[in-house]
Structures are given as C-alpha cells and as structure tokens.
C-alpha cells in the first residue's frame, strides 16, 4: 500500500489540496426548506423594523451607492 502511494509521486499535501479543490468546485449547497426561509425572512423583517430600516430605504441607499 505505501509503496503504491509513494510511487504515485503525490504527497499527502498535494492529495489534500486536490480533494479540497474538488469539493469547492463540485459541492452544491442544498436549498433551505420554505418554512426555514420564511422564518429567516421574518427575523430579518423584525430586526429591520426595530432599527428603522425599510425596503424603500435600502433600495434608495443602493441606488445612490
């Protein structure tokens, strides 16, 4: 087993790097279920209300940026 690995000419660092690149290139993040997205949206909207941030203010700020 080790002789095969050594004969391949690839060290453990190189193998780990190749694996990490493969994961980063091919991983697909699963979509959150609708109930979770809805809960997150509610939390954001509540926080925006508490801080006086509205959709219109965000759009106006984005347009001026």
Q: Do residues 48 and 54 touch, judged by C-beta distance below 8 A?
A: yes
pTM above 0.75, yes or no: no
* For residues 32-56, average pLDDT: 91
Domain total in the chain: 1
Range of the domain at 22: 2-64
pLDDT exceeding 90 applies to what percent of the chain?
A: 57
Confidence of residue 56 (pLDDT cuts 50, 70, 90): low
Helix, strand, coil percent values for the chain (each to nearest 5): 75, 0, 25
* For residues 28-34, average pLDDT: 96
């Amino acid at each position: 087993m080790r002789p095969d690995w050594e004969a391949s000419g690839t060290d453990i660092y190189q193998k780990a790097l190749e694996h990490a690149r493969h994961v980063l290139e091919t991983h697909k993040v699963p979509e959150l279920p609708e109930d979770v997205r809805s809960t997150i949206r509610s939390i954001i909207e509540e926080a925006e209300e508490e801080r006086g941030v509205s959709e219109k203010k965000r759009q106006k700020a984005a347009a001026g940026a």
